[in-house]
Amino acid sequence: MFQIVKKRILNPSVTWMEVTAPHIARKVRAGQFIIFRVDEHGERVPLTVADSNPDAGTITLIFQIVGCSTMKLNALQEGDSILDLVGPLGLPTELPEAAKKICVIGGGVGCAIAYPQAKMFHKAGLDVDVIAGFRSKEIVILEEEFKQNCSELILCTDNGSYGRKGFVTNALQDRIDAGISYDTVIAIGPILMMKSVCELTKKYQIPTIVSLDPIMVDGTGMCGGCRVTVGGKIRYACVEGPDFDGHQVDFDELIRRNGVFREREKECRMMQLADNKS
Amino acid sequence: MPNMSKYKTPVPEQNPEVRARNFEEVTLGYTEELALAEAARCLNCPSKPCVSGCPVGVRIPEFIKKITEQDYAGAYEIIHSTNALPAVCGRVCPQERQCESRCVRAKNGEAVGIGRLERFIADLHQDKDQHDAIIKKTDSNHHKIAVVGGGPAGLTCAGDLAKLGYEVTIFEAFHVAGGVLMYGIPEFRLPKAIVQQEIENLKSLGVTILTNMVVGKVFSIDELIEQGFEAVFIGSGAGLPRFMGIEGEALVGVCSANEYLTRINLMKGYREDYDTPVLQSKSVAVVGGGNVAMDGARSALRMGAEHVYIIYRRSELEMPARKEEIHHAKEEGVEFLTLQNPVKILGDENGRVSGIVCQKMELGEPDASGRRSPVPIENSEYELPVDTVIMAIGTSPNPLIRTTTQGLEANQRGCLLVNESMMTTKQGVYAGGDAVTGAATVILAMGAGKSAAKSIHEYIQKKGK
C-alpha cells in the first residue's frame, strides 16, 4: 500500500499528490513513469512522475481527472493509500547531446511532465526556456516551480486571460522570429499540441523530443498496447519510450489508437459520478 | 482387480453451448467414485515409464496406488514432494505428450487419466488447513535466495528451495504473483482462486512474495546480491508479444493475445464490477495455433463475439495446442481456418479493423522444427470481414533484466544462456523457464525451476565449505 502524504488541488481538474514509495523515489529519473491501481477493481494506469524526494521516500504525482481511474484516485485523501504502485518504468529522459540552449514546452497537465525535465536540464547547467500553455488563467499550474527552474518562462493562455494570448506554437514562433535559436525543443502535452509543435520545428530543423502517453496495461513490454509508429517502425512506449523523436512519430495513428476505449470510458465516468454522488 | 476398460473414465464437463458464454471452469473434475474407477486402471508397472515423461518427476504410480487405497492425504504428500503446483498441473499440463504418452495402457486403448487424478487429489487439499496438516514448513537454514518472477518457474524454484530451508523472496512485477497462470490462462481453464491458493500454500512454506517489483528497474540483479541474497533465480518468462509485421497492425482493433488475455484474466475485464475495458467484438480473427490462440478464441466467444476464427498457416495436425484445447474450442463453436496466412489487415475510414486478407497455403517439406512447412498458394487471397484481430504468434523473452545486468549473456533471440546446472554467465545467478527457452509450457518452466533449485542448493552448500 502506498500512502498519500499530501494532496493539493491545483485546479478543478488537476490534482497534486505526494505519495510514499521509497523504492521508486530512490531510483526514479525525469521522464520515467509509474503505473497505479487504486483498488482491487481498478485499471492499471500510467502516470509520469513529476518529482521525487529520495530522503523522504516520496514521489509526486500530478494528474488530470479525465476518466474513471483518475476520478477514483482523486477521491482519495491524505492518509488514504493507493493499492498498487509500480515503477520506475520507461527510460529516463536523456540530456540532448551538445545542446546548450533548449526550449521545454508544456501544454495543460503536460506541464507536470515538462516540469521535471526542465528542472533536470536547468540543474545540468543548460539554458532552458519554458513555454507553458493553458486554456485560461484558472487552470495555470506550476508557475512558481517553472520560474525557479528556467532562464525564462513564457506563459500563454488560449483566451489571453493570463500571459501571452495564443497557443504554445505562437509563442515558439515569436521566439524563433526574434532570432533565438534552440538546439533542442521538448514538447509535452496533448497529442495535437505535440503534433503542431513538431510541424513547426521540422520547418526550422530543430530536433524535437516528445513524451508519449499511449494506452498500456503492464508497462514492461508485455501487452504491446502502447505500440506507436516512429519512423515507420513499431516501438513500445513503455520500454523504449516514453520519449521519442517527435519528427518521426505518427501522431494521427496515436490519436486513433488512444480512442479505442472512448465509449467504455464514457460509461465508466458516468458510473463513477453516480457513485460519488450516492 | 484392475479396471481393464480401454477408455479413460470420462470427466464431467459443462455443456459446450452453455460454457461458451460463461467463464466458469469447463472441466468439472472427478468425483471420488470416478477417481477410484480411473485409479484402478493403473497397472502399477515396475518400469514406471510415466514418471520419466514428467518434467518434475511426480511419482505417478505411487500416488495412484494411494488413491486406490483411499489414502488421499498420502497421495497428496507424494505429489507435493516433487510438484509445488499440483492443482495447476492437473489442469494445464499437456499430459498426452508427457506422462500419459508413455503409459502402457495407451498401447491398447487410452492412457490412464493421470492429469485428472492429480487434479482430483490437489482439489481435495485446496483447503489451507488440510494442506498445512500434510506439508510442514522446514526450519530456516538462514540462506537468502532471490527469485525474479512469480510465474511457474519462479514459484516452483521458490517452493523447492523453501522445502530445503532457504529463505526465499519472490520479486513479482505485477500486482499479484502467478505469472502466466494469472494473466494468460483463462479462468474457465484454470480458476484464479486455485492459483492463489497454491501460492498461499507456498507462503506457508515460508516463501515471501513482493509484488509491484520490476527487477531491472526498481532493483538491479547486482543490487539484490548487495542486499544479501546469495543466489538469484531469474524466471522472468517470455513476455514480449510478436506481431507479424504486416500492413494494418496499428489499426484500432488489433491487439496481442497477451493484451487481450491480460485485460480479461488478470484485470478481470469480463466482470461487470471491474473497470478494465476490453474490445467489444462481433467477429474476431485469432492468428496462431497454440494454446494461447485457443485461449484467446474461447475468451472472445465468452465476451460475446458471434464469430471467432482461428487462422493458422499449417494444418490442424501441426497445431502446437493441447488436443483437449482444440477439441474444446471446436465444441464451443470456434471456426478453424487452417492452411491460411494473413497478409494484410484492412481498416475503415476511422482507422478501425474491417477485415483481414488471408492467403491459402499448402504443406511442403519439413522445416527445422520437423513440421511440414507451409507454402503460399499464388492468387489465393481472399477477404474475411472481422472487427478484431488477436495476434497469438508467440512471444520473446523480456529484455528488461538482460539489458540492465552486466555479465548476463543471451543468444540472438534474447534467451538467457545457462550451463547444464542452469547457471547464467553471471556467478550465482541462475535462470530457467521461458526466459531461457523462449515461449514453452507451464510444466517445462516448472521443471526448469526445479532443476535450478537443486543446483542453487548445491552451489550454496559448496560455497559454505
Three-class DSSP category at B241: strand
β-sheet with A33-37: strand ranges across: A81-82, A2-11, A14-20, A58-64, A45-53, A33-37, A84-89
pLDDT number for residue B399 = 85
Closest-CA distance of chain B to residue A242, Å: 15
- Optimal mutation site among A217, A230, A267, interface B, most CBs of chain B within 10 A: A217
**Whether A224 contacts chain B with CB within 8 A:** yes
> pLDDT class for A276, splitting at 50, 70, 90?
low
- Weakly modelled stretches of chain B, pLDDT under 70: 465
| A220–B173 CB contact, under 8 Å | yes
Beta bridge partners of B310: B286, B336
Burial (Cβ within 10 Å: 0-12, 13-18, ≥19) of residue B342 = buried
Q: Which CATH class is domain B243-393?
A: alpha beta
B373 to A12, A124, B197, B343: CA distances (angstroms): 61, 57, 42, 17
Q: Which stretches of B96-205 are DSSP H helices?
A: 114-124, 128-134, 152-163, 180-183, 192-204
HSE on the CB side for B120, CA within 13 Å? 28
State the Cα–Cα distance between residues A107 and A194, nearest whole angstrom: 9
Closest-CA distance of chain B to residue A204, Å: 30
Cβ-Cβ pairs closer than 8 A, A with B, add up to 110
The CATH number assigned to the domain with range B144-239+396-463 reads 3.50.50.60
| A260–B263 CB contact, under 8 Å | no
Q: Which CATH class is domain B16-134?
A: mainly alpha
pLDDT number for residue A99 = 85
Contact B155, B199 (CB under 8 A): yes
**Mean pLDDT of all residues in A64-87:** 94
Q: Which residue of A has its CA nearest to B267?
A: A43
pLDDT number for residue A275 = 66
A120, A89, A135, A146: which is closest to A209 by C-alpha? A120
Domains B16-134 and B243-393 share a fold: no
> pLDDT class for A267, splitting at 50, 70, 90?
confident
The residue ranges of every structural domain in chain B are 16-134, 144-239+396-463, 243-393
A8-22: per-residue pLDDT in tens? Answer: 999 989 999 999 999
Closest partner residue to A222 among B239, B267, B280, by Cβ?
Answer: B239
Name the amino acid, one letter, at B72: Y
Q: Tell me, what's the ipTM?
A: 0.91
Name the amino acid, one letter, at A21: A
With vertex at residue B337, the alpha carbon angle to CA B334 and CA B341, rounded to the nearest 5 degrees, is: 135
Closest partner residue to A220 among B214, B274, B276, by Cβ?
Answer: B214
Closest-CA distance of chain B to residue A84, Å: 6
Chain A residues close to B219, C-beta within 8 Å: 23
A101-135: per-residue pLDDT in tens? Answer: 999 999 999 999 899 999 999 999 999 999 999 99
State the Cα–Cα distance between residues B436 and B433, nearest whole angstrom: 6
**Whether B212 contacts chain A with CB within 8 A:** yes
Name the amino acid, one letter, at B313: R
**Whether B263 contacts chain A with CB within 8 A:** yes
DSSP output for A163-213? SEES-HHHHHHHHHHTT---SEEEEESSHHHHHHHHHHHHHTT--EEEE--
pLDDT number for residue B298 = 97
